[in-house]
A and B are shown apart, each in its own frame.
Chain A
């Protein structure tokens, strides 16, 4: 139900009714003024951290107001940007250690900013549990993304699957342009090595996810 029930919201306001919807600023004006207030409305411990507010090209394309769809060209651009973003581990080995991956999948911390301090750890958590059902019987899991329970049982652990999972976690927009899922590798939230451990957690037959 994001169909535009509010579109002519002014119609419900008698004062604005006389003026009509046309008096709202247009998209370009809104964007210009909104970007101006973004740069003046936040603080961070360092100028580098303030740059998190700046959108890259793909984020801009994926920020359509309401349900406006991506054009085919835009989708192709998002996919191409994703393709060029992906870096593979130097070792060439895409499948790491599922035990490390399991801990990562249940770790939602790292890199938040509060009261002038960056929550800096050696490595960030993988955030998976926030949005995905994981091993059978786990209750404290989200459902924004699809359930991953039994992922490897269903999809196998071939090199092709390993590559797909690695790329999907590294930059999900390669396969689903503008997906809700963070581009965890491309955004440097996770390292390549961390992602290989998540690959193992997802596809290794010994992983609790597949038992």
Chain B
């Protein structure tokens, strides 16, 4: 895949960020930089790669992902991401897009689950992981559609309530819960805007824009990474990829953001 233009874009973004300190008001320069780059989102390169990987025969079983069931039936991708996380009878679990993707890569293609989980979150300025590209492609097939994950199954409702509980659960040496930083509008950590996830506009902006191209990392990031990174900054232990806590929080946030029109790749600082 063409990596050079991505690194150039990342560099340009870094320059814009450093120029921000001379802008009139905090955040203004960043906002200008964001707007300039969002029109030419480097995440599109990951999307193309994800599409190719989805159709390609890969893994020990030399199979494509074309028969993967993301909840609307095998191979039915349009609108599937807008209805996730949801309960899947064949795994007897509530799964988000990434955990479902891994289920298919293991069952259909024969990949090793532990190896997939280990490589899922890529290094900054790398070519990105297969999962990052695939998650973006599958989500993009819900572009223009409204987020509306179901709460019909008891396990979905249980996940939702656990997510709500966890969103407000304070712990660790910073005493932080998610809501500590994401419960009020107009707040910033240094120059970074904090999204108010307790009001519809804020949370809708979140759930409609991941996976996203992360300028400062030069790669596409997913919701699983977003949650992992929050816990890191909160000084808590490392959130396990596809863990129940990650699924519970995603279930809660996606439901809170219902009605959001999905448009990926998003573009983040």
Q: Is B116 an interface residue (CB 8 A)?
A: no
Q: Whose C-beta in chain B lies nearest to the C-beta of A31?
A: B165
Which interface class (under 10, 10 to 19, 20 to 34, 35 or more) fits A?
Answer: 35 or more
Which interface class (under 10, 10 to 19, 20 to 34, 35 or more) fits B?
Answer: 35 or more
Whether the pair B235, A15 counts as a contact (CB closer than 8 A) is no
User: Which residue, of B160, B165, B237, has the highest number of chain A Cβ atoms within 10 A?
Assistant: B237
Whether the pair A143, B238 counts as a contact (CB closer than 8 A) is no
Q: Whose C-beta in chain A lies nearest to the C-beta of B258?
A: A12
Q: Is A52 an interface residue (CB 8 A)?
A: yes
Docked pose: A24 CA to B154 CA in angstroms: 8
CB-contacts of B172-221 with A (<8 A) = 172-177, 180-181, 183-191, 194, 196, 198-200
Docked pose: A9 CA to B200 CA in angstroms: 12
Q: Is B268 an interface residue (CB 8 A)?
A: no
Residue-wise interface mask of B (141-171) relative to A, using a CB-CB cutoff of 8 A (1 in contact, 0 not): 0000000101110100110111011101111
Whether the pair B175, A59 counts as a contact (CB closer than 8 A) is yes
Q: Is A87 an interface residue (CB 8 A)?
A: no
Q: Is B239 an interface residue (CB 8 A)?
A: yes
Whether the pair A59, B152 counts as a contact (CB closer than 8 A) is no
Interface stretch, picked from A61-69, A93-101, A156-164, A203-211, is A61-69
Identify B172's interface contact among A9, A19, A52, A180, CB under 8 A.
A52
Docked pose: A37 CA to B177 CA in angstroms: 16
10 contacts between A and B (CB under 8 A): A16-B152, A37-B162, A40-B243, A62-B170, A62-B175, A114-B238, A140-B190, A141-B190, A144-B188, A181-B175
Binding site for A on B (CB under 8 A): 21, 26, 148, 150-152, 154, 157-158, 160-162, 164-166, 168-177, 180-181, 183-191, 194, 196, 198-200, 231-233, 235-240, 243-246, 248, 255-256, 258
